[in-house]
């Protein structure tokens, strides 16, 4: 009697990992998100910088979406320089509102993460919670408020409001510290307001926190910012501790002497909701940079 030969069949291949888009991949937060999301090995990460896809071309965006079918979109791209938005409000609206609305519509049942800003607030009181009413003072803030409204229609949205991010960008000109260094290298002395307050955070902490929120399936609006209430002047002092070429090139000034467009005096963010959801505190810039300002 011939022996029975067992039937052999190849082991089925595991399903491919879902695709994750990162728009604005050439910017500060986008660049670091690409690296961190890739390291998690949960997604096929598709970095989308300006040269990869023109987000202002709806047909091209739709075609690329149909090809990639991303399960997650991390939308970092924006016209984020306040003066540029004031100069060209039509372009600001197209870039910050219309592009965002189109991407959110394409996302369908997928996850859609949108990066917003503390500058949607007028800064009259500070320590703003997620449900605080926005009242922007400029075009950039107005477009971000409008974009948030468009995103909330999406059933699986996550709106992340952040503040000044400290870190290194691929182009060397995206973070506030890089802008300070470029100005000083160009021969400028920087006047930094001692009565204008923000909640600065390292880009590494922003990226880690956002990916935690995404992995935990958080939806709605969350504030992701540093735990310190720091003036522009205090921030400059901290940065100068790590960049000696700034020393002696910064001076303290008051908003009262400023004659330009309105500026929000205190847009610090209350991150309690995020901290309770994740079960940990968000560190401040003082802790991360390992130093303290002279008057603290």
State what percent of residues in the chain have pLDDT above 70.
Answer: 93
- What is the set of domains in the chain, with CATH numbers? 19-167+201-228+267-284 (3.40.50.720)
Backbone torsions φ then ψ of 87, nearest 5 degrees: -70, -35
Residue 14 is predicted with a pLDDT of 64
Residue 7 is predicted with a pLDDT of 63
Entry pTM: 0.92
CB atoms within 10 A of CB 55: 23
For residues 120-137, give the mean pLDDT: 98
Tokens standing for residue 261: 């467009």
Q: Are residues 76 and 26 in contact, defined by beta-carbon separation less than 8 angstroms?
A: no
Residue 5 is predicted with a pLDDT of 60
Q: For residue range 63-104, what is the model confidence (pLDDT) as tens digits?
A: 999 999 999 999 999 999 999 999 999 999 999 999 999 999
For residues 160-167, give the mean pLDDT: 98
Cα separation, 49 vs 5, in Å, equals 55
Residue 12 is predicted with a pLDDT of 65
For residues 109-135, give the mean pLDDT: 98
For residues 159-178, give the mean pLDDT: 96
Q: Give the residue from 155, 152, 159, 83 showing the smallest Cα distance to 115.
A: 159
Residue 147 is predicted with a pLDDT of 98
State what percent of residues in the chain have pLDDT above 90.
Answer: 90
Question: Which residue carries 């984020």 as its tokens?
Answer: 80
Task: Please say if the pLDDT value at position 295 is more than 60.
Answer: no
Q: For residue range 236-264, what is the model confidence (pLDDT) as tens digits?
A: 999 999 999 999 999 999 998 888 888 99
State the sign of the Cα–Cα–Cα–Cα dihedral 94, 27, 164, 268.
positive
């Amino acid at each position: 009697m011939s022996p029975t030969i067992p039937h052999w069949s190849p082991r089925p291949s595991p399903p491919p990992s879902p695709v994750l888009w990162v728009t604005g991949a050439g910017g500060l937060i986008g660049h670091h998100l690409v690296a961190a999301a890739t390291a998690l090995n949960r997604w096929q990460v598709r970095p989308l910088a300006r040269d990869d896809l023109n987000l202002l071309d709806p047909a091209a965006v739709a075609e690329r979406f149909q090809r990639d079918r991303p399960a997650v979109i991390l939308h970092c791209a924006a016209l984020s320089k306040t003066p540029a938005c004031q100069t060209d409000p039509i372009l600001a609206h197209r870039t910050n509102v219309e592009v965002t609305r189109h991407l959110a519509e394409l996302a369908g049942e997928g996850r859609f993460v949108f990066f917003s800003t503390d500058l949607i607030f007028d800064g009259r009181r500070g320590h703003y919670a997620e449900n605080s009413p926005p009242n922007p003072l400029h075009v950039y803030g107005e477009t971000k408020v409008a974009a948030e409204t468009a995103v909330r229609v999406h059933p699986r949205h996550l709106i992340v409001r952040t503040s000044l991010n400290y870190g290194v960008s691929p182009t060397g000109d995206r973070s506030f510290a890089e802008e300070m260094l470029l100005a000083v290298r160009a021969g400028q002395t920087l006047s930094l307001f001692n009565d204008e307050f923000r909640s600065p955070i390292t880009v590494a902490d922003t990226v880690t926190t956002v990916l935690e929120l995404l992995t935990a399936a958080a939806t709605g609006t969350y504030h992701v910012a540093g735990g310190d209430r720091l003036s522009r002047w205090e921030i400059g002092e901290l940065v100068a501790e790590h960049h000696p070429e700034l020393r002696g090139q910064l001076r303290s000034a008051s908003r009262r002497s400023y004659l330009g467009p309105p500026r929000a005096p205190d847009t610090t963010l209350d991150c309690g909701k995020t901290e309770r959801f994740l079960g940990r505190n968000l560190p401040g810039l003082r802790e991360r940079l390992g130093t303290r300002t002279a008057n603290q």
